[in-house]
Structure 1
Amino acid sequence: MDYKPQVSTVKPRLIIHGGAGNIRPETMSPEKYAQYREALLTIVSQTDAYMNTPVYSKTASPQGSYPSALEIATYAVVLLENNPLFNSGHGAVFTRDGINELEASVMVSRGFAKRGVGVTGLRRVRNPILLARKMLEQGERDLTGRANLGWSKADQTSFGPDPSPEDLDIPSAQGHTLLHGPSAESLAQKYGLALVDPSYFYTRNRWDEHLRALEREKTKAEAPIRSFGSATWSPDEYLPQGTCGAVAMDSEGVICCATSTGGMTNKLTGRIGDTPSVGAGFWAEEWAEDGDPTGRVQKGELSSWKSYLGLPGPALEVGGALRGFLGDCLPSPYLYQPLAPARRDSDLVTTRSAALSGTGNGDSFLRIAAVRTVVGIARWGGVSVTEALRRIAGRGGELQKSAGDRWGKTGEGEGGMIGIEGVVVKDRASGQVVETRGEILQDFNCGGMFRAWIDDDGRAAMRIFDGKKDEEFPGRKSS
C-alpha cells in the first residue's frame, strides 16, 4: 500500500558517497585528499544544479517540472561511475582473475511497482546504474506482461553453456528484481544502453592495487597477526571494498537511493555483494504511524554537522529540510509555520519515509541485512532513522559486532551508510500539516567514508573523516 502525503512541493535534498573502509589521514597525501575533495564537491554541485533546474515541455506546468528523486540519484551516480577515483564504472576494482564485474541498484520510497531492483555480474554495461533505473521504470509493464523488447531467437531453446547476450531469450525483465551477467547485459542492449569493451573499466591505479594485494597475500603467513592482510583488505593500504551511491529527495517527497560498485578488491569472480541485494546494501520505504512517536526525540536531540565536528557518533545535517515538506494550505513554497498549537499524539497521524545506501564490506552487510534492518528498527521500534543508523553502522554497532574478534584484522564489519529521512505530521481530523521534518543522514564505523551533500544554506559540503580531522588535514584549506 502506498502512503501519499498531501504535499504541494518539497525542497529537494541530496547526499552522495564514494566508498568507506580503512581510510586514514596518515596514509593519504594532501594531493590525494585534494583530488577526492574536488571530485566530490564537483559531483554534488553538478547534481544540485540539475535537481533545481526546471524542465519545460508540453506536458509540464508553465513553471516547468523538476527532476524526480530517481532521476536525481541516478544522475549523481553516473557522474561517480565516470570518475576513475571511485570504485564503480571506469575505475572499478578487479576480481582475483583480473576481471571487472560490476553491480548496481535503485529503490524508491513510492511511485514504482517494483520499488527496488538490482543488477550484477556486468562486464560490458558502461553505466550499470542506468540499467537498474530502466528496470525500475519498466516495472509496471513487466509485471502485467505488456513489455516485449523483442525475442532474440525464439525458435531455439538452447545455446550451449556460455551463450552471448545476443543469443539469450530476454523479452523483458519480467517480474524479476535481480538479474545477473549475460541476461542483464542482453536487457541493457535492448534498452539501448551503451555497451563497451571490458578494457574501458581498466585504470592503472586499480590494476596496481590488484597486483600488490595478491602479492601481499602470498606472504601473509610470514607476517605477525597484528598486520594481517589479504587480497581484499590490508591494514596498511585502503583497498576499495565499498561502493558509490546517492540518496535524493525530490519536490514530491519521494526518496530514492542509487548504488553502484565494482565490489571488493580481488573478490572471487562471480561473487555477488550487497549492492544489488535488496535490503542488504540499499533500501527505501514509506509508512504511516499513529501520533508522532519520534517527535520528542527529533526536537530534543538533533544537532547540526557543525556541532558534530570532532565528536563520535552519527553525522547529521538538519535545518532547512526540517521545513522542506509543505502542506497545500501553506502560502509560500519554502516557508513553514505551525498551523496550530501543539497537539496530543492521539490527534496526529504521521507519514515517515527513508532511503539509505550502504558502502563497505558487503559480505558483512549481507549477513545482517544491514540497510533494511536500519529502517526496520526505525519503523517498528518507534525511533528516528538517525538512532537506528547508529545502532547498525555506528561505532560499536551491529556491523562491527558481526566481525567478532576479527574486527580490525580482516576488514569485516567495516562500512557506513548515507540516507535521508522525511517526516510529515498531520492533524488527524482536518488533514492539515502540523509539522514537517527532514534529515540528511550519515554514519560509519571505520577510518573514513567519502561523502558530500548540500547543506541547509545550499552550499556543497564534503568529508572523508570525522569532521575535525578533515578541517585539520594538511593542505585542505588551499585545495
Structure 2
Amino acid sequence: MDRKRPNSSSPLQPRLIIHGGAGNIQRHHIPPKIYESYRTSLLSILEKTQCFLDSPHASALDIATRAVELLEDDPLYNAGRGAVFTRDGINEMEASVMVTRGHAKRTAGVMGLRHVRNPIVLAKEILLRGDNDLLGLEGDAIAQEGLDVPSAQGHTLLHGPTAEALARQYGLSLVSPEYFFTQKRWDEHIRSLSRARLGKGRVATYSSETYLPQGTCGAVAADGQGVICVATSTGGLTNKLTGRIGDTPTPGAGYWAEEWVDRLGTSSPGSSVYKTTLEITGALKGILADCLPTPFLYAPLNRDTITTRSMAVSGTGNGDSFLRTGAARSVAAMARYAPSRHAHRSPALLAQAANSSAAPATAGTARRARGKAG
C-alpha cells in the first residue's frame, strides 16, 4: 500500500509503501472477512504514519521504522506480537533497517530476540548509534548473563542476549515471552508438528492457506531529501529450528537499499576525438567565440546530466532460498546494471528484475533455489 501527499517545504514528495506479508495468494482465495481485517489494519497503519509524511523534518528512517513498529504491535502479523513459534515453542524474532545515505553504518540487523517488544526499534537504534560506536566511543558496560556489552562496537548484525543487553542499555521496552503469544500461532505450531509426525509435510514451512499473514513485514519510505529507508521484521518460519537465522536480518538477502549517480550526456568517455583545452563561462565566452578561428582552443561548459538514482527492496517469502541467492541484492543489481540503464528508463524496471529473480518461471533464480521447499 502506498500513501503520499505533497509537502511544499520539501524538494521531493515523501512516500511510504508497507506490506504485512505479501505472497502469491490471490485476493479471491482469501475469505472476505480475513481480507477485510488485513485491509483495515494496513490502512490504519498508513493513517497513523501520515503525520511523518506531512512533517518537513521527518526522515525516511523515522517513517519506515514507525510503520513497521505498528505492524509488530498488531497480532495479525508474523512480527513482534503474533510472531510464529519455533519447533520448541519459542518466539524468536529478527529485524533490520537500511538507508541509502546519511548514517555511517547504513544498515543494522538483530536476530534471536525473545524479550524486545519492537525488534525494529532496536535495529534503528543500533544504526543511529553507529555514528559514534564506529569511532570507538563506548558507553558503560552492561552485565547481562556474563556479557560485557559497552556498545555495538561498530558491529552490523547482533544476536540474542547481546542484542537484548543493548536494548536494555538504550532504554527500550522489554517484555516477558508471554506478550508475543497468540492462540492462532500456537495452533499453527501444534498442527504443523502433528502433520510432520504423520509424514504429511515438512516441519518448517509456509502454509499455502495462511501464507499472506506469515510472511515478513516491511516498509520502504522516501523522505523529502531523497533518502530511502527499508525496514523489515519477522518471526520467521513456523516451527523453524530454534536459533535459525533467516533472510530478514541479512543484508542483500531479505532487504537492500542503495543510491548511485548516473552521468548521462554527450561527453561520455570516448565520444569526442578532440579534448577541450579550456572551459570559458559568462559573457567572455561570446566575445571570444567571434575571435578564435578554431574550436579546439575553446569549448562551452560540459553539458552532461548527472542523475541520482536510488532503490530499496523489502522481501517476503521463503527466506532460505533468499539467502542462497542473495535475492534482494540480486534484484537491485539487475535493476541498476541492466543493459537498458542508459536508455529511457521504464518505471517497471525494478519489477522486471524481481520477476527475473523469483518468478514462477523455470528461469527464476529464487524459485530454483527453493527446490521442493514449497
Bucket of the pairwise TM-score, normalised by the shorter protein: 0.7 to 0.9
The answer to whether 1:32 aligns with 2:34 is yes
TM-score, length-scaled by structure 2: 0.80
Q: Secondary structure at the match of 1:375?
A: helix
Aligned to 2:296: none
Give the counterpart of 2:252 among 279, 283, 287.
279
Aligned to 1:211: 190
Gaps of 5+ in 1: 1-6, 55-64, 154-164, 222-227, 293-344, 412-479
Q: Is the 8 A contact 1:261 1:275 kept in 2?
A: yes
Evaluate the alpha carbon distance shift between residue 239 and residue 204 of structure 1 in structure 2; reply closer, same or farther with a 3 A threshold. Answer: farther
Evaluate the alpha carbon distance shift between residue 8 and residue 36 of structure 1 in structure 2; reply closer, same or farther with a 3 A threshold. Answer: closer
Question: Where do residues 54-453 of structure 1 align in structure 2 (5 Å cutoff)?
Answer: 54=55, 65-146=56-137, 148-152=138-142, 165=144, 167-220=146-199, 228=201, 230-235=203-208, 237-238=210-211, 241-291=214-264, 347-382=304-339, 383=341, 384-396=349-361, 397-404=364-371, 406=372, 410-411=373-374
**Amino acid across the alignment from 1:208:** D
Q: Is the 8 A contact 2:61 2:229 kept in 1?
A: yes
How far is 1:258 from its partner?
Answer: 0.4
Q: Is the 8 A contact 2:65 2:231 kept in 1?
A: yes
Please list the CA deviations of residues 353-409 of structure 1 after superposition, one character each: whole Å capped at 9, or x if unmatched. Answer: 1111111110011011010111112222254323322222344232223234x2xxx
How far is 1:81 from its partner?
Answer: 0.2
Please list the CA deviations of residues 178-237 of structure 1 after superposition, one character each: whole Å capped at 9, or x if unmatched. Answer: 00000000000000000000110000111011111111112235xxxxxx5544234555
Q: Is the 8 A contact 1:17 1:246 kept in 2?
A: yes
- Greater Cα radius of gyration, structure 1 or 2: 2
Looking at structure 2, the residues matched to 210 and 24 of structure 1 have their Cα atoms a distance apart, in angstroms, of 24
Please list the CA deviations of residues 133-188 of structure 1 after superposition, one character each: whole Å capped at 9, or x if unmatched. Answer: 00010111011012x221135xxxxxxxxxxx353100000110100000000000
Please list the CA deviations of residues 222-280 of structure 1 after superposition, one character each: whole Å capped at 9, or x if unmatched. Answer: xxxxxx55442345554865210100000100000000000011100000000000110
How far is 1:22 from its partner?
Answer: 5.9
Aligned to 2:270: none
Gaps of 5+ in 2: 1-8, 266-301, 342-348
TM-score, length-scaled by structure 1: 0.63
**Amino acid across the alignment from 2:32:** P
The structure with the greater share of residues assigned to helix is: 2
Q: Is the 8 A contact 1:104 1:276 kept in 2?
A: yes
Looking at structure 2, the residues matched to 142 and 19 of structure 1 have their Cα atoms a distance apart, in angstroms, of 33
Q: Secondary structure at the match of 1:253?
A: coil
Q: Is the 8 A contact 2:236 2:246 kept in 1?
A: yes
How far is 1:349 from its partner?
Answer: 2.0
**Amino acid across the alignment from 2:14:** P
Q: Is the 8 A contact 1:217 1:231 kept in 2?
A: no
**Amino acid across the alignment from 1:361:** N
Looking at structure 2, the residues matched to 187 and 230 of structure 1 have their Cα atoms a distance apart, in angstroms, of 33
Evaluate the alpha carbon distance shift between residue 347 and residue 229 of structure 1 in structure 2; reply closer, same or farther with a 3 A threshold. Answer: same
Number of equivalenced pairs? 320
How far is 1:94 from its partner?
Answer: 0.3
Looking at structure 2, the residues matched to 236 and 286 of structure 1 have their Cα atoms a distance apart, in angstroms, of 37
Aligned to 1:16: 18
Please list the CA deviations of residues 37-93 of structure 1 after superposition, one character each: whole Å capped at 9, or x if unmatched. Answer: 1011111222123321x3xxxxxxxxxx42100000001001000000000000000
**Amino acid across the alignment from 2:225:** E
Identity level (%): 57
Looking at structure 2, the residues matched to 364 and 86 of structure 1 have their Cα atoms a distance apart, in angstroms, of 21
**Amino acid across the alignment from 2:354:** L
Evaluate the alpha carbon distance shift between residue 97 and residue 240 of structure 1 in structure 2; reply closer, same or farther with a 3 A threshold. Answer: farther
Aligned to 1:462: none
